[in-house]
Amino acid sequence: MPRVLCTRGEIRLLTLVAPAKVNLYLAVGQRRPDGYHDLTTVFQALELADVVRVDPDDSFSVTYEPDLGIPRGEDLVSLVSMALAQRLGRELQGAFTVYKRIPAAGGLGGGSSDAAATIVALCAMWGVPAETPEVVDVARAVGADVAFFLVGGTALYTGRGDTLVRRLPDPGLDVVVINPGEPVPTAAAYAAFDRLLLPPAPPVEPLLGALASTGTNIGGLLFDNLTEASTGMVPSVGGALAFLRSEPGVLGAEMAGSGSTVFALCPTPEVASSIAEKARDRGWWSAVTRTSPSGARIVRTEEGDAWLG
């Protein structure tokens, strides 16, 4: 988890990256008394990312480019800012501008990653380590996968998807992501999942072993037991996934979270680029990216300082 204490002078302007994620493995279990489901998942951060810029000298505000149409104060950046300020007893300040590159409501975790980047920025402004237990508690309370984006990389999580079991090696693979343009409501996907009679999920251990062994076929071990529920609700997601699985060179393909984005692991950026172009020809949003070992982090200040996470 990155330490984000200011190294010199006052912070005047921060630029952060907020990475997308996919789930290399997602096994949804029983509904819990708190309304969530037990999860076992392997998160994988991507180089595809939103950009968050913060001017600490301005009064608190949050702007999205483009605007997402979320009522003021109800977006995750606003919610996590207010929650963290209250928990740490700090005065909330700073103009946050979120430049969206990750499709909203697509299973790539963009909103949660933006929230994690906000936590990193506020911790830098206040001189608080981001791994402080109070900070992590706020992250987990705001969103189940926000805590992952503070860690990033490749990691096994359980609980609601908010309990880190261990970090894993970054597979270092090229990735193509496709969104067919029809959203999958997360709550509805989980409700549909609860109505299905599905076989037990395969164990996660083969994937963990593959990640630890260079050259093992990780793509053949991708798994997401929400896929049937989501594709049943939004058939275009199933169509996009079938397209990926039929493309030559693809190492493996699966849905991202509850959808509607799907992704494929590719052996080279050329294979990923070719698939992305074919997807755009079909009218789908697509992007070529790569797995990333990092989470939400500051990449520069106004003075050009480097911030390593």
> Active-site positions?
21, 145
The angle, 0 to 180 degrees and rounded to 10, between the axes of the packed helices 133-142 and 110-126 is 150
